[in-house]
Structures are given as structure tokens and as C-alpha cells.
Structure 1
């Protein structure tokens, strides 16, 4: 009888907490961490309090798998994730000066909770296009329930706006054409897949007008898959961040550039983490809001 009250408290906590993932759900998080590095040569400098707050956000979301972008070192990840709980995999992007930024690098990668069965696959190196500053895709296969799921974490070329003839759009188009080959292989082999990360291209979920439809159509035409593969956010998208250009200010994004694409997998509760004013006022977090979702 003495154990009934503690058991009731535990059950009540599980029922009330939105961040408790049951054994029947796999929680996946994606976050561009804006030049996260442990050394002073990083373009974005962070102190101990900043790392502590980033760690707190990850603990709040409590992912089984974290797909990260713009991380400069394994040591930086061990400052925000407990190595005893997660395996941390960085892409093998070359450190050659031709492909890096001054004094630092940007890696994609995964942190996988140790109870998740997975296999690390070769990096998707082609989308680097042999260009300075472009990143490799991190490739992974996991086993979840009765599914085998291929995950590809990407960080695509930035700067493609309205003119599809611009240099940035031409490079992005080449990357998308290469990704279409990866997608084609998954589809032809009946593989379940999730393509996620920083696409650096806004994709509209509302499609309120012709312009938005054309915007999405161009992107998915290059990928060779229907626009319905884009997973919808649970609520309307909003991401308020603090930027530092000469002086700090808050801006709000209303269209996401971080996305999740999948055709077969039942993805639920796709949400964006909203930074609190307190978090933003006193900490250097990121210029992206984390997104997260569950697989039943």
C-alpha cells in the first residue's frame, strides 16, 4: 500500500507532461545550432550560461534522435548532451581550407539515444558540389518497432530567393537534383525515409495563392516527389529569434526553412519550439528555432 501514492504521482506526471515520450513513440528533433563550437574562433561566441540554456532546451524536448546542423566539433556536442546517453555522429566533411569557413567548420550530424538500434551509413557527399562552404548530408538507418527508416540530415545552399536564375538558386537546384536520386532509390526499394534539416528555402504549408503554389512546385519538381510529402506543422508556424548585427534585436519568421519530408511514415505533432523572452534576452541561442515530431 505504501507504493500507491508515488505510483499515482508518476502516472499524473506522465499524463500532464507534453514532453514525456512513451515507449510507443519515437521523438525526433532537428536544430540548426548556428556555429556551435567550443573554441573562441567561432563566429558566434557563447559562454557557459549559453551552453547550459541550449542543453536545457534539448532536455525539455527530450529527443530520442537529434539531427543537428552548423556544429563545429564533437566537443561542443558533449557540452550539451550527455555522452553516456547519446551516441554522437558528425559528418566527415573535409577540413581542407577549400571547403571550410575561416578557422572553423559546419557539420551536420545525429545524436542517437543509446537504446535506439541504428546503422551509420556513408555521408551524402555529393550535395557539397565541391564548393566552399557547402555541407555533406548525414545518412543513417534506424530500426523502430517493425520499421526500418532511412534518415538524411541536410543543410542546403542559402540565398535562393525569387530569381531562380541566380547563382544560389542554380546551386540549390543541383543539390535538389542529387537528392532526387537518393529519394528515387528509397522509393524504388520501398524504403521508409525521412529527409530533414535546414533546407534554406521557405516552403509554404498554407498555399493561399498562386505565388506560394509555384514556389513549392519548383522545389518539389527538382526533388521528383509530390508536394504532399512535406509534413505540416501542428499549428501555424512562428519563430522569434534574437539577432546580433551591430546591435541586438528580435525578429519573427512566419515561414519555415527547416523542414521534414516523408511519404509513408505517420509523423505526428510536428511543432516548433518557441524561445521565451527570458531565454532570448540573456542567452546566445540560435537563429533557428528547433523543430520536433513523433513517430507512433
Structure 2
């Protein structure tokens, strides 16, 4: 697989070709993800739960993210490496730029921020500084205490309209990609059709341009998983085979199936 860039993924969007994304936190798994041909790696703040044992992503720091981003970047060459900006690191302009700069220096090629239109100034600043941005709407895990738990977002018409408005605003501010998490299938389809940038779904139905899953979830390591998760290692295949099956299922549209989606 040749090196994947933002331009590569934009071309896939324009051609109607789907691509796969997976979270990853270390060099060894990054090598396997690359061998499976998966186009992008998200170094997710989900590491706070699956690696550190916390019950949310909130305790994760920029230093944690930089450490794991550097490990992933050393383990692969081809996939696009996206790093999460952790809780509290981007709520004002100067810390946002400083934290994103640290993650880029660690090996990220893009940073991801959770939130709507209030992030537009930060996105513009980052893009001016040469730092590509991926937005994140719908269920935003860093806001779990405000949302009242891990719930599907956008089922009410008014809420769906806000998510659509936010998506367009983030794109206009300069975001190069967008993650939609736990939103109704129809809403995700509408947003994917409206935006020019690639939309990555997780619990957002099959109409998005790409899918992302947490590595430990798709390998069946996590004991309790969400409805949108499929265990790709359930038949006793190797890790590499499970990753290949995940990518192929995303590409051919068989994942997510109806049982992984929300109305």
C-alpha cells in the first residue's frame, strides 16, 4: 500500500470508494494494521479506557496522546495517522495550538477535535498553522457528562438540524474530515451526501464514506461492547486476518449491517 494522504482519502470520497479506519496505540499493532491495507489509523483517546482502565476518556492527557502517537508512527509508514486531542486541551486557542503541535511533532498527520461550531476559530487557527483537522460530531465521548451518558444523538428533528449545521460549519472552517458517532443512519447519509470532505462513521450506518472501530472491540478483546461493534475475530482467525476481514467488509458494504445501526 502506498502512503495515504488527505488527498488520497478525498479522491476516494469523490470516486465513491469506501475506506477503513481503526484505532491503534502501539507500533506492533500499527504494523499489522498497515499489512491489512487499512487506510488510516486513529490514535484515539479511547486508550484511556482500553489501555489505562479508566471508565471514560477524560483522564487522558496530551502527554499520553503524544507517547502513543509516536509509537504508532514508528510502527507504520503508509496509513494516515490521526491523533485525538484529549479533554481540556483545545478549549482555548493557545493550548489548542500547543497541544496539536506536540502531537504533530510526535508523528500525527492530522488531529481530531470533538465539538460543533464553537470550534471553528480553533480549526481555522490550526489549519493556518499547517495542522489538518478532523471534526467529531454526534456522540462526543468527552462530553459524556453533559450528554447524560453514551446515547444516540440526532434522533429529534431539531437536534439533527444542529448536527447538520455544525458539520457544514466545521467543513467551512477548514476541517478535512469528519467523524460521526452514534447518529441515525438517515442523518449520517444526509450529512455524507452534503459534505465534500470524507465522513467516517461509527454507529452511523453504512452510507458514510468510511468506518472506524476501536481495535480491541473488533478483535473481541473488549468484554462489553456497543451495538455498532462486530467481532471480526469471532471465528478464531489471526489478528491480521481479522483486520483484513474488517477492511473488506467496510469496502464491500457488508459492515455495518442493519443490526449495527440506529434509526
TM-score band by shorter chain is 0.3 to 0.5
Specify which structure has the higher proportion of helix.
2
Specify which structure has the higher proportion of strand.
1
User: Structure 2 length normalisation: TM-score?
Assistant: 0.36
